[in-house]
Amino acid sequence: MIDVLASRSLATAVSARRETLRHLDCLTRQIAARAGRKAITVKTRSRARRRSGRRLYHQELVERLAFERWSELDTLTCRLVVQEQIIDELELHGHAPVLPLAG
């Protein structure tokens, strides 16, 4: 027998996890894009930088911007961990056979 309530809860949890992943991915892309824009601005101001120096500088900018938004990144990561635990628990109990009550 399939527990409809458990499958509905599982679908809701999976949807919430998908939305959190989308938000985390969007935040990561924003950080990378902003670092890229800053690196280009610095590159145009200083043409003396070597090619590898620009890559290192870009990575440093990404890390600095991620640090500035660490609370938001941490919140999303923690939320994702909790959602994964909920999904695992629902899947564990959702696939177990539901026995009818003996009356």
Whether 38 maps to a domain, the answer reads: yes
Whether 67 maps to a domain, the answer reads: yes
pLDDT digits (tens, 9 = 90+) for 44-97: 555 555 555 566 777 888 889 999 999 999 999 999 999 999 989 888 876 544
pLDDT band at 30 (very low <50, low <70, confident <90, very high): very high
Write out the DSSP string of 56-103: HHHHHHHHHHHHHTHHHHHHHHHHHHHHHHHHHHHHHHHSSPPPPPP-
Whether the predicted pLDDT of 31 surpasses 60:
yes
Looking at the structure of the chain, the number of domains it has is 1
Domain span at residue 50?
A: 4-92
Q: What are the helix (H) ranges across 4-69?
A: 4-45, 51-68
Asked if 56 and 34 touch (Cβ cutoff 8 Å), the reply is no
Whether 100 maps to a domain, the answer reads: no
Specify the range with the lowest mean pLDDT, choosing from 11-20, 21-30, 34-43.
34-43
